[in-house]
């Protein structure tokens, strides 16, 4: 199911999907962030089938090398994204970047760490 949240314009249709329960929880989390703190979050990647996950991993290895890619992208068959339970989030500044540790240091990243459970 596609949750009613802000998405990056660069997402595949399948990447906007999550399980119904996960999508509802994410809607509530993002609404809370905006209403209580003025924090605007964007979804950048949700469900991925095996082939999409495999292609993503191979692409990151090609660009970053295996050691660096392994820090940020799970191998196919080992990703929470394949279960429909995960959605990567970012702020406006992160919309056109690869995921990295820098987001965790932003106001939005800190809020997510303290409030997502």
Instruction: Quote the mean pLDDT of the chain.
Output: 93
Parent domain of 100 = 1-47+84-117
How many independent structural domains does the chain possess?
2
Do residues 89 and 103 both lie within one domain?
A: yes
In this prediction, residue 96 carries a pLDDT of 76
CATH number reported for the structural domain that contains residue 7 in this entry: 3.30.1380.10
Please tell me the distance from the alpha carbon of residue 29 to that of residue 83, in angstroms, as a whole number: 20
Decide: helix, strand or coil at residue 89: strand
What is the per-residue pLDDT across 24-65, written as a single tens digit (0 to 9) for each?
Answer: 999 999 999 999 999 999 999 999 999 999 999 999 999 999
In sequence order, which residues have a C-beta less than 8 Å from that of residue 39 and are 6 or more positions away?
Answer: 33, 91, 107, 108, 111
Write out the two tokens for 101.
Answer: 């540790």
Do residues 9 and 32 both lie within one domain?
A: yes
> Once rounded to an integer, what is the mean pLDDT over residues 105-115?
94
Give the residue among 51, 32, 45 at the shortest CA–CA distance from 99.
Answer: 45
pTM as predicted: 0.86
Do residues 89 and 109 both lie within one domain?
A: yes
In this prediction, residue 25 carries a pLDDT of 97
> Once rounded to an integer, what is the mean pLDDT over residues 69-95?
93
Cβ neighbourhood burial of 50 (10 Å; 0-12, 13-18, 19+): exposed
In sequence order, which residues have a C-beta less than 8 Å from that of residue 30 and are 6 or more positions away?
Answer: 5, 6, 41, 89
């Amino acid at each position: 199911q596609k949750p009613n949240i802000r998405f990056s314009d660069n997402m595949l249709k399948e990447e906007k999907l999550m399980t119904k329960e996960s999508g509802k929880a994410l809607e509530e989390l993002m609404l809370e962030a905006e209403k209580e703190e003025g924090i605007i979050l964007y979804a950048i990647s949700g469900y991925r089938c095996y082939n999409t996950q495999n292609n993503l991993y191979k692409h990151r290895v090609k660009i970053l090398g295996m050691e660096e890619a392994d820090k940020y992208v799970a191998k196919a068959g080992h990703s929470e994204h394949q279960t429909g339970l995960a959605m990567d989030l970012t702020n406006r500044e992160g919309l056109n970047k690869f995921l990295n540790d820098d987001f965790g240091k932003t106001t939005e990243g800190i809020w997510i760490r303290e409030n997502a459970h």
